[in-house]
Amino acid sequence: MATQLKIATLNCAGMVNDIKRATLYDVCKKLNADIILLQETHSITADEPKWHDEWAPLESAFNSAKDNLHRQNGVAILVNKTHFTLKNTKYDENGRILASTIFQDKTAIVNIINAYAPTTSYFSQVRNDYFNSLCKFFRLDETKYNTWRFQYGHEPRTRSPAAYNNERMPAKL
């Protein structure tokens, strides 16, 4: 069993283009990571079978948008299938969350979650819906989660994040 795991995460900014996807695949191989998490694949469900075949040396799980309207979403978990397998994979319906248990031989070694939050304005209803969906996805108590968000500075802000963060900066470094 591996005593250390090398994990890489990449924001693809889209990988629909065949050349870009091939280049990204080469980059992933050079990383020589045990686990690779991809965000913003810009995939739809119809892309997944082709991509599974293209990435065949790696076991892959994709969660894609169901339609072109949400194509900017999409996440993936890739593992070296010589050493690891993905099981108990679950995903949300918007192509933003993918969770799986990674096994080495017959032993579960890690549970991993790949989540891609909306990049729209912090006040956006889409972003709020996303964070509420995380609670439902993982069956978390939303009351406790919202308390945590408030305590750790992740509450909705009434001014820009830069101004909010700057007031915590020391006067002199």
Q: What is the CATH number of the domain that holds 16?
A: 3.60.10.10
Q: Within 10 A of 48 (CB to CB), how many other CB atoms are there?
A: 18
pLDDT confidence of residue 129: 78
pLDDT confidence of residue 156: 43
Q: Judge whether 64 lies within some domain.
A: yes
Return per-residue pLDDT of the chain as tens, 173 residues.
557 889 999 999 999 899 999 999 899 889 889 999 999 998 888 888 888 888 887 889 888 877 766 677 889 999 988 889 999 998 888 888 899 999 998 899 988 889 888 776 555 777 777 777 777 777 655 555 444 444 444 444 443 334 333 333 334 33
Partnered with residue 135 across adjacent β-strands are none
pLDDT confidence of residue 155: 45
Write the burial class of residue 37 (CB in 10 Å: 0-12 exposed, 13-18 middle, 19+ buried).
buried
Three-state DSSP state, 33: coil
Give, in order, the Cα–Cα distances in Å from 104 to each of 8, 24, 25.
18, 25, 23
Q: Judge whether 1 lies within some domain.
A: no
Q: Judge whether 2 lies within some domain.
A: no
Q: Judge whether 161 lies within some domain.
A: yes
DSSP-derived pairing of the beta strands 75-80 and 35-39: antiparallel
Residue range of the domain that includes 88: 7-166
Q: Judge whether 171 lies within some domain.
A: no
The pTM is what? 0.74
DSSP-derived pairing of the beta strands 7-11 and 35-39: parallel
pLDDT confidence of residue 148: 44
Q: Judge whether 97 lies within some domain.
A: yes
Specify the number of domains making up the chain: 1
